[in-house]
């Protein structure tokens, strides 16, 4: 599952560490999702979606 997290994160001028802290996960989790090593859980997808104030469908897609 692809995602726009890296682009959104950079647009907000945040490091992976920053974003992880804001959302409540480790920087490795952010890194792994950006690298598509795995998909986030639904609750984490919601946190990311709310943080960037965008619907899940605009951040994650096939």
Partner DNA sequence: TGCGGATGTAAAGCCTGCTTTACATATACG
Partner DNA sequence: CGTATATGTAAAGCAGGCTTTACATCCGCA
- Which positions touch DNA (CB under 7 A)? 15-18, 20, 24-29, 31-35, 38-44
The bridge status of strand 60-61 relative to strand 2-3 is antiparallel
Task: Please give the structure tokens belonging to residue 7.
Answer: 């682009």
Count Cα atoms within 13 angstroms, Cβ side, for 3: 25
Which of the listed partners (DNA, its own copies, none) does 54 bind, with a CB threshold of 5 to 8 Å by partner kind?
A: none
Interacting partner of 46 out of its own copies, DNA, none (Cβ under 5 to 8 A depending on kind): its own copies
Least gap, CB of 45 to DNA (angstroms): 8
């Amino acid at each position: 599952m692809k995602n726009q997290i890296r682009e959104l994160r950079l647009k907000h001028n945040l490091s992976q560490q920053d974003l992880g802290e804001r959302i409540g996960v480790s920087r490795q989790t952010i890194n792994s999702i950006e690298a598509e090593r795995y998909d986030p859980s639904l609750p984490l997808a919601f946190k990311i979606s709310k943080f960037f104030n965008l619907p899940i469908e605009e951040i994650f897609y096939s």
